[in-house]
A and B are shown apart, each in its own frame.
Chain A
Amino acid sequence: MSTIKSKPVYSPLAADVTGRFHLLLGFAEGGGPLLRVLEELEASAPPSGAPERFSRTRVLVAATPLEPFLKRGLARAQHFETADELLAEYRGLLESSVMGTRLYIAGPEHFIGRVMQIALEFNLNTDEIRAEAVGTLARRVHCVHCRAGTENVVTNIVRCSGCGRWLFVRDHYSRRFAAYMGVMVDAEAPGELPPVAEIYP
């Protein structure tokens, strides 16, 4: 267990019925947890309150099948080819959303991080966002030397996509960059690398 406080903590998704509008975002294995939330929302909605509650319940998914969501019928669900396309639509939705909206995010951490990064721009607080990490532990890494990002990092040490330095992948997480910090690992003894291991499968 990391002692670094910035390392995000996730927990299983559950419907927050104190919210009025619900925005569900999922990537890959995140489809399952979102379906569970949708079921809970439907079960909790009183018959008279249902139309309002679901008028603005939206589901945005990528890399996961859309059919199970369409079968539920009440919420408007959309499928995207890539996470980037999904995030563009999501940003537009936040622009027109009102207070009372709750965000549910399910998928690998790198996806959650990018969704959270945009939520932060809209000043959504922790009591408006729920996130469940499922799937790969692959990390986005921010190089503290050249500031380049390196995607899908599964090893403890990685070569920076920008400057080519060998970076140690820290547990220090930046919500603003939506990435873990990567720090040059062989600065004192160039070329001497500790064993490289796949630790974020």
Chain B
Amino acid sequence: MPTVTIDGRPLEVEAGTNLIDAAQRIGVQIPHYCYHPRLSVVGQCRMCLVEVEGTPKLQAGCSTQVTKDGMVVRTDTSEVREAQKGMMEFFLINHPLDCPICDQAGECGLQDYAFKHGQAYSRFEYEDKRIYPGRERIPLGPNVLLNMNRCIQCTRCIRFTEEIAGTGELGFFNRGARTEIGTFPGKPLDNPLATNVVDICPVGALTSTRFRFAERVWYLDKRPSLCTGCDVGCNVTVEHRRGRIRRYKPRFNPEVNDYWMCDYGRGTFERYETLPRLAAPRLRAAAPEGNGGGPAPGVSAPASWGKALDAVAERLRAGGKAAVLGSGNLTTEEAFLFAELARAAGVASLPLVATEGPARTIPNLHGGITGRERHPNRRGAELAGFGGGEGPSADDLMFGDAAAGLDVLVVADSDLGPAAHDEEAVARLRRAGFLVVFGWADTPLARAADVALPVATHAEKDGTFVNVERRLQRFEQAFPPPGQVRPAVEVLAELLAKLDGESWAGVGTAAAFARLAEARPELAGLDFDELPPTGAPLPGFDDHDETMEKRAPASPAGRDGEDQGV
């Protein structure tokens, strides 16, 4: 591998690495707007100019590759700084500088670089700024709005639709200082990945209709999490203000979603806003003797956690026919604790709700991942023991009359699928002698329960999901659950302590994972706190080696081959 010296520090990189990437590795940031590691290199913004020994002119860091030994690069000379200052001035002379009303303010490439590389005054005093009349809020498609006055013509959005989404809705129109971004007639920006152009837009030219004006970004707290929209398991950042999620943004994971996520996934948190919240434990006063299949006449009323859990423990201890109905929305750890609860109560039936959904594909360098299920963690729940065994299946319970034969039915997820919102299905499940429902949403199913237990949303807890490729990924708690709501793991540990002994007291997610890992060879050697940041492929992992070869990476290194210019 050739050696390049950047700002006096030698470093070995693969031949073909560009200077921006090479410098990044030793912590040197070369400013840039148009360069993106997954998009073709166009060298347009000219912000990344650096000095390369032996060349008379400054060179663009994005399009200059380390090809042979001995290249000497300087990113901090007075010439470089002067060029950066000049470029910043060029960007800003025609920029509206409307930061106070711009959604991008606070996460704006122009603000950041103007502060770092620009100057605090303008020499563009007597000329009028270029404006694009009537082009201040153009809907490019249902999810993206364009304000052309703010655009710096970096063409990242155009290249994204051409090279990543493969849809090519966007183009460059006109010429020179009048150049603008736009859609082609009759072809709106309406592909499943469209909102990614908002993320990669360095300025406030492209804004998301979903997030636009929802919050000033500096009020947002950000935590690493996973999308729950399907079983791809896109890595996301949950951005919230005091427990109210404002948006998901894709979080880089080259093995899963790369830099991207789909528009559907971005909207999944809205379910936390639209469904009513189960805020406190609820207990039905007293079940009448000899339940004949009709709904229990008792009134469901708020109760303390202690009373509610005592009631559950008592019914489970009583024995009889019982089942625990799981869902792919559970974390692997929750699923494990539910399975343990079943074991402790002598319940052998662990049916699992898994629903197929539309295929959702996220591109990455390995040929992409396609999710086909509505739940993020069917595989994790199965790993923990759900879905197999004896007794009725989930469909028997929801769509047949299997529940009528049960003395106790524990539903692990009040929002396990359409059945939770369907009167008839709820009535069928209600035929069980005693119905316990865990969940964050106060669904018809939760309202029918004898005991309803309010537990955390995925943003309010930590845990792991196993995605469609059998990759185990961990997510963190973004914010604590509100009021009386508790993470399910905590609730289950308390129940287990009552039923199975004190060793369960205080068991958290990490400890639950450790106990599961002892039991399951697939998880051998894995430590909850030490999981790799890109996730751990489990045995049977479905990697995409074949597709990987078929599809050349859109990385800068792949651009210099025959593909370029064709």
A and B: real partners?
A: no
Interface residues of A (CB under 8 A from B): none
Give the interface of B toward A (CB within 8 A). none
